Chains A and B, each alone.
Chain A
């Protein structure tokens, strides 16, 4: 197994950093998924997107300012997800970029975050050729659903454990990234089933390559950035976090 991992690792390393200089690894590109998996991942993702739409629609009726708020925060998270983060292992020779779903899940809740991720993925697929239209369902599953829910629950559990706000944000950012890559690895690993390969072996290899190249460090970096962001907003404008339901009471001092 090791003899196969090493060449794959070497080549991935070369292609991600030397060829493109910018690593975009969490989206499955157009044309990779076979027809049946395209249908399967769309079928899995549509109910979550539907619930997200229902949530926004219901809140919009009660509070008309909710739509511009979600749109604007969604745009901000999209821009955040385009931040170039240098890969420390290569001394900044190449950059990667964060997912942003952990932060959107903390700010907007998991279902609305799935909807925001869906729209972000659609924009990226159409206007950046990053991801794809047939792979949209698969990408929604890994980045939208797994990323949002894991980030949201990580944040809530950390809050329950009374961890400082920075660590709550750190865990949300980091875990949502790890789950996003895990989701992508599972989706790609499932492709070998028909060719007689082992799903677990393939998924583990792909996940290993993700984590060993830029993405393992990126998970930690995104966690740190999300932690900084939440602390920064809490110190400057705690009312925003209170309004979004991230903190329960903005008048009580809180450990950051």
Chain B
């Protein structure tokens, strides 16, 4: 079983992840239509690029926009969650040892303490974001079971990873659960709204071009996000 989930299933998960995200991006861009969207993406390119970059960069900076600044607690949770989700699996020592063994290469590995901290931070921020969905009426109204399910899908590899590392350190069962959770997460990204993993950049670029080309970007100093 372990060989299967870390072998063919892992290949499948990575294939769906990489190909799926690429397909999502390509389909998004191909579906843009200058007449329907009313944005001249193909002309006024310099304004478009400027608008797109500003739109992405300011939103990638914690407290870089009015909206992030207006919601400091949420901003901290969101950035913590995403930093943990992205950096922990990439730079975890155990993952890199595994990569070296199986595929003959590895990335830089972060100290174990930092990895543990990030993992706990992911779980805490995911839990608090779930509570926020319950506590705030304006969020509760738009929240569905799907939203909680996706939070669970994102948090599961981290919870199972902690269990596999500390609670049942020699348990193959928990290791398999952890790998499966990771693979479900990878597969879910392109197939669900977790596709904002790549589509964040696409939609931010689009609205940046919209304001940068058409809605004032050619006249003003650029929208102050």
- Co-assembled chains A and B: no
